[in-house]
Amino acid sequence: MCSGRIDLEFILRAFANGQDGVFIGACRLGECNYVTHGNYDTFGTVLLCRRIMRHIGIAPERLHIAFMSAADGNILAESINGFVETVKKLGPLGQAENEQADDLAPRLQAVRRLVPYIKLVERERLRVPVKTREAYERFYTGAEFERLFDELVADRLAVSRIMLLLRQKPLTTQELAAALDLNPSEISGYMNGSSRQGLVRYDEGSKRYTLADVA
């Protein structure tokens, strides 16, 4: 199977199901068997996913990709053994992050809700025009990527997490800020935008935000 068929949702689902690490084996870069350069697409997905993981508090080292040919059995073995050792040092999901698995679950859920949008953004705004490992690594570690990530992904993710919290119960600005580790002014900005879109409403009686479709 071409590694290019590995979807962002597959990786996130693995962590949501409690896996402590995800290893991806792909063809050598520049040696795609299907002439589709799907391994570069997967490389970009991995680099983007690592940034998302860091944003939601999961160690990016829990996701690894290695490139090899069908004849590189020794490289496969070494790569897997090295990754297993890395995951052992990190411990179960949440341990190295100083988080409870129950706290990570809603963050992963919020990201998974955005996967179709993130894939669209990746295709339209985050594609690297040059197919080299150096170009991909340079872009995904650069200032322009960080700017685009904050603009296109981080803000949407914050709103997604807010929607999930409000689905459970109405909350004040301060309660939302504490839950998302943001300051109240940031929450107010998100809520103003969400109110204009008809997603949330402010209940004057309880002084709390609630979903717009909740009576």
Q: pLDDT band for position 2 (50/70/90)?
A: confident
Q: pLDDT band for position 1 (50/70/90)?
A: low
Q: Model confidence over 5-60: pLDDT tens digits?
A: 899 999 999 999 999 999 999 989 988 777 678 899 999 999 999 999 999 999 99
Contacts for 8-13: CB closer than 8 Å, 24+ residues apart: 8/45, 8/48, 8/49, 8/115, 8/118, 8/119, 9/112, 9/115, 11/45, 11/46, 11/49, 11/63, 12/49, 12/108, 12/111, 12/112, 12/115, 13/112
Please tell me which residue, 77 or 1, carries the higher pLDDT value. 77
Single-letter code of the amino acid located at 73: G
Q: Model confidence over 100-141: pLDDT tens digits?
A: 888 899 999 999 999 999 999 999 999 999 999 999 999 999
What is d(CA 119, CA 134) in angstroms, rounded to the nearest whole number? 22
Cα atoms found within 13 Å of the Cα of residue 4, Cβ hemisphere only: 14
Assess whether pLDDT exceeds 90 at residue 213: no
